A and B are shown apart, each in its own frame.
Chain A
Amino acid sequence: MTATLDFISSVPYFAGLDGPVLKAIGRHVFERKAERGEILLFEGHPTDALYFVVAGAVKVFKTSADGKEQIFSIIRPGDSFNDVPVFSGGVNLTSAEALGPVVVNGIKKTDLEAVIREYPQLAQNVIRVLSRKVQELVSLVEDLSFRHVTGRVAKMLLEYAGDGDGERPRLTQQEMAAMIGTAREMVGRSLKSLEEEGAIRVERNRIIITDLAALRELAGVA
């Protein structure tokens, strides 16, 4: 068993389960490590497992035929990826890439199905997690459809801001562009615009949110 019970119990899929159940699940969990830029999952490949990020961050994305990338989410510790194809069957819907050194835990599709059959209380957690994933996708569609680029950049900054403890993933302007469905140059322009508005300050490799209320307003969020 490679995963700690503490970690497994922090994963939303396994929240609220008893120690013996967590132990049983832990026996099926395997660990995988990757360096920045390493591909953990390839879109279109057969789905093998559901993954949870233990440390680091993972970028989940799709690439168009002409090489344009759309990032769907950045997965942080405790969160999962490859959820949908594990339950629906078929192939990986997206690719997943390590944004830095990462440790992930995985549970094979067949093992997960067996665990859910044995412990049906898990099914409620599965529904909750998948519902949240749908909400995130609806929010992404809403942003891409209705929010202007500067507003999207502002919202992305709010979502990925940390308190400087180094726990949050660092993002390149290209990655920011791929998250909000625009060109890299537009991210640069939007950051300048937000700086002129006094909502942020860019200091070398740090984007500092100086006026949270103003940034929220520019993002169009309450």
Chain B
Amino acid sequence: MADMPIIDHDKCQQCGLCASICACGALVADEKGSVSIIEVEKCGWCTLCELVCPYGAISCPFEIVIERKPDQD
């Protein structure tokens, strides 16, 4: 399964802001504001959710890798 943004439920204040701005439709908030990732494949890692979260409760970490060229195999 694809990696997903990490939600820290201890920090999340259930404001629902991340779900409201999620352009990919990967995040949803229930009526109490509790956020879940429901559509893993839709997440394009735009990191908007991380950017808008006022509580630092959601993070989108990047892996940094060096591309292996075919002649290096």
Q: A175-B61, A207-B65 are known; give 20 further A-B pairs, CB within 8 A.
A: A157-B64, A162-B64, A162-B66, A163-B65, A163-B66, A168-B63, A170-B62, A171-B61, A172-B50, A172-B59, A174-B59, A201-B67, A204-B44, A205-B45, A205-B61, A205-B62, A206-B63, A207-B63, A208-B67, A212-B66
- List A contacts of B50 (CB < 8 A): 172-174
Tell me whether chain B's interface is mostly helix, strand or loop, or mixed.
Answer: loop
A30 interfacial by beta-carbon distance below 8 Å: no
Map CB proximity to A onto B22-48 as digits: 1 under 8 Å, 0 otherwise.
000000000000000000000011010
Kindly state the separation between the CA atoms of A172 and B60 in the bound complex, as whole angstroms: 6
- List A contacts of B45 (CB < 8 A): 204-205
- Chain B residues within CB distance 8 Å of chain A: 2-3, 6, 8, 11, 44-45, 47, 50-51, 59-68
Chain A residue at smallest Cβ distance from B69 = A210
21 A-B pairs, CB-CB below 8 angstroms? A36-B8, A161-B64, A163-B65, A163-B68, A164-B65, A168-B64, A171-B61, A171-B64, A172-B50, A172-B61, A173-B50, A174-B50, A174-B59, A175-B61, A204-B2, A204-B3, A205-B45, A205-B63, A207-B63, A208-B65, A208-B66
